[in-house]
Amino acid sequence: MAGMYEDRDIPGKTPSQYVTPDVEDNVQRTQDLPSFRPRSNDDGNIVSQHENQNLVRGLAQRHIQMIAIAGAIGTGLFLGLGGSIATGGPLGALLGYVFVGLVVCSIQYSLGEVSALMPVTGSFVRHAEVLFDPALAFAVGWNVVYGCFISVPSEVSASVVLIQYWTDINAAVWVTILIILSVVVAISFIRVYGEIEFVFAILKILLVIFVVILGLVIDLGGVPGQPRLGFHYWKNPGPFVEFISTGSWGRFLGFWAVMTNAVYSFAGVESLAMAAAEMKNPRHNIPKACKRVFVRIIIFYLAAVIIVGMLISSADERLSGDGSTVAQSPFVIAAGDAGIKAIPSIVNAVCLTSAWSASNQSMLTGTRALYGLAIKGHAPKIFLRTTKWGVPYMCVLLQVAFSFLAYMCVSNDALTVFYWFVDLTAAGTLVSWITIALNHIRLLKALKKQGISPDRLPWHNPITKYSSWFAFISCIIILLTGGFQVFTKGNWDPASFVSSYLDIPLVLGAYGGYKLIRRTKIIPLQAIPIDQALEEAENDPENIPIVKSGGIWSKLNILW
């Protein structure tokens, strides 16, 4: 295996042409340090030759931008938002989503900076290998793989529930059709996935814009026979809801419960960079997608939360439930009250595309995470096999095998068992976000330790040295308090406890077990190969700044 700091031959260049003095100095500083890399199948480069030679860059900039949007908008917005209003009230829900929105923006900025420097398959899983500890990459990587493998049948089951709004055909028929469609997308050229997600993201955007405008019309009395509501429900029953307790403490707990629920509405935004090695010019396109997430959150989520809080009373009993059917959508309830009959089918149709989109996204994330693990020697070499059009088909086949768990939704008893499996990784989103923030913190610390200016990074924003710590601490607190309800009097629930906390010992156990077996150590800041990563970035033939057009369209393309 090539050494971590060993000079690499670059076609057409001699070492004197691409090794700068500071690179040589860093090599001299670190040559006496032990290697902290595990046994792996890569060639010593940050971006492995496996990725450069076997994967195909089929995702264009517009695909990446819209995949980011598709990951941020899902059934949690269309169906689950009413539950947040019922738990925290209109203002409590708004504050909860604002706080989590800031966390998500911080995570995206952290992910963008590290991914621009190291655009590798597996994203933050592989970053942890280089920036912190191979054991963390192993633990978080397999946690992501398992979570995605279980998420696919979960989303298929959710899709079947939505389809049954229109028909009572046996669920097994729809499970079969949806699995076949997912497999076709997964095994196809990566551009096929990009085009499908592009279309789905546009549908989601159009629906959000439509329901926001419709909500304003209803709220302002634009529907004949309907009174003007204004902020009536903010006054009665009030801006906050008392949750579990009473008084100020009860209102705070309502806000906190909304915040923990909001995290899972945004689950999936971290998968943006999972297929970085299959993107065109990822060092520019990934940061561009990441830094625009704040605008998306403001436009879509916060506008939707405000509108729903104006349309539906937090005391409305129809908002109760798990948000798994279109009847519990706050938009459907408001439209039904206003006498508009077509809205349920429209919302249900877009929610169906959201569920299938989430299934495709989990398929992509799971297979690319597994491929990345195989590159680093954390998974069998067989998972490195790819088709001639660059798809890791062995990874796809393993995930397809797990997809058949969706047939458990045909039986009520089996479905209960299946959702216990889903509960095992319900906290996986927060574990992934914590890892992303930690990777970025380690990167900045290594830059400072080695005397390298952050300005040399392909993309850097000075605020990230504060925002990453904010996201890191916030995610840990939310993870540890996410199941606080089960510890209150009379609210113990084994399923909720498992959902909130079992993932923590699973990840810690995998991390400790790997360290015990492989004897890995936390990589010293001085040994993190920053210069090697910078050298690869500076010699990347695709690392060319995108020239902006001066037309009016370039000023209007805030979404992509």
Q: Is the pLDDT of residue 4 over 50?
A: no
Instruction: Choose among 219, 233, 230, 215: nearest CA to 347.
Output: 215
Token pair 């088909």: residue: 393
Q: Can you tell me the mean pLDDT for 253-263?
A: 88
Residue 56 maps to a domain = yes
Please give the single-letter amino acid code of residue 189.
F
Q: Is the pLDDT of residue 78 over 90?
A: no
For the beta carbon of residue 464, count every other beta carbon within 10 angstroms.
Answer: 25
Q: Can you tell me the mean pLDDT for 148-161?
A: 86
Q: Using a pLDDT cut of 90, give the percent of the chain over it.
A: 41
pLDDT at 1: 36
Residue 531 maps to a domain = no
pLDDT interval class at 552 (50, 70, 90): low
d(CA 447, CA 468): 15
d(CA 422, CA 64): 28
Q: Can you tell me the mean pLDDT for 427-447?
A: 95
> 59: helix, coil or strand?
strand
Residue 109 maps to a domain = yes
pLDDT at 544: 58
How do residues 357-403 score in pLDDT, each as one tens digit? 888 888 989 999 999 999 999 999 999 999 988 899 999 999 999 99
Give the residue with greater pLDDT, 162 vs 523.
523
Residues 6+ apart with CB under 8 A from 53: none
Residue 401's alpha-carbon distances to 155, 378, 394, in angstroms, are 15, 20, 11
The total number of structural domains that make up the chain: 1
Q: Is the bond preceding 119 in cis, omega lying within 30 degrees of 0? A: no
Residue range(s) defining the domain that contains residue 367: 50-519
pLDDT at 282: 87
Q: Is the pLDDT of residue 265 over 90?
A: no
pLDDT interval class at 211 (50, 70, 90): confident
d(CA 327, CA 380): 45
| DSSP line for 401-423 | HHHGGGGGGGSHHHHHHHHHHHH
Q: Can you tell me the mean pLDDT for 117-140?
A: 94
How do residues 274-331 score in pLDDT, each as one tens digit? 888 888 888 888 888 887 776 777 778 888 899 999 999 999 888 876 656 777 788 8
pLDDT at 47: 74
d(CA 83, CA 76): 10
Read off the tokens for 348: 């249900």
Q: Is the pLDDT of residue 41 over 60?
A: no
Q: Is the pLDDT of residue 341 over 70?
A: yes
Q: Using a pLDDT cut of 70, give the percent of the chain over it.
A: 86
Q: Which long-range CB contacts under 8 A does 548-553 form with residues at least 24 apart?
A: none
Instruction: Choose among 112, 127, 427: nearest CA to 293.
Output: 112
Task: Write the CATH number for 214.
Answer: 1.20.1740.10
pLDDT at 321: 65
Residue 147 near residue 508 (C-beta atoms within 8 A): no
> 171: helix, coil or strand?
helix
Q: Is the pLDDT of residue 40 over 70?
A: no
∠ CA 432-436-439, nearest 5°, is 135
Residue 558 maps to a domain = no
Residue 509 maps to a domain = yes
Residue 502 maps to a domain = yes
Q: Can you tell me the mean pLDDT for 45-56?
A: 77
Give the residue with greater pLDDT, 11 vs 261.
261
Q: What is the mean pLDDT of the chain?
A: 83
Q: Is the pLDDT of residue 496 over 90?
A: no
Residue 358 maps to a domain = yes
pLDDT at 288: 84
Per-residue 3-state assignment (H helix, E strand, C coil) for 23-43: HHHHHHHHCCCCCCCCCCCCC
Residue 554 maps to a domain = no
Q: Is the pLDDT of residue 239 over 70?
A: yes
Residue 78's alpha-carbon distances to 211, 219, 229, 331, in angstroms, are 10, 18, 21, 7
pLDDT at 42: 58
With 0.85 as the threshold, say if the pTM is over it: yes
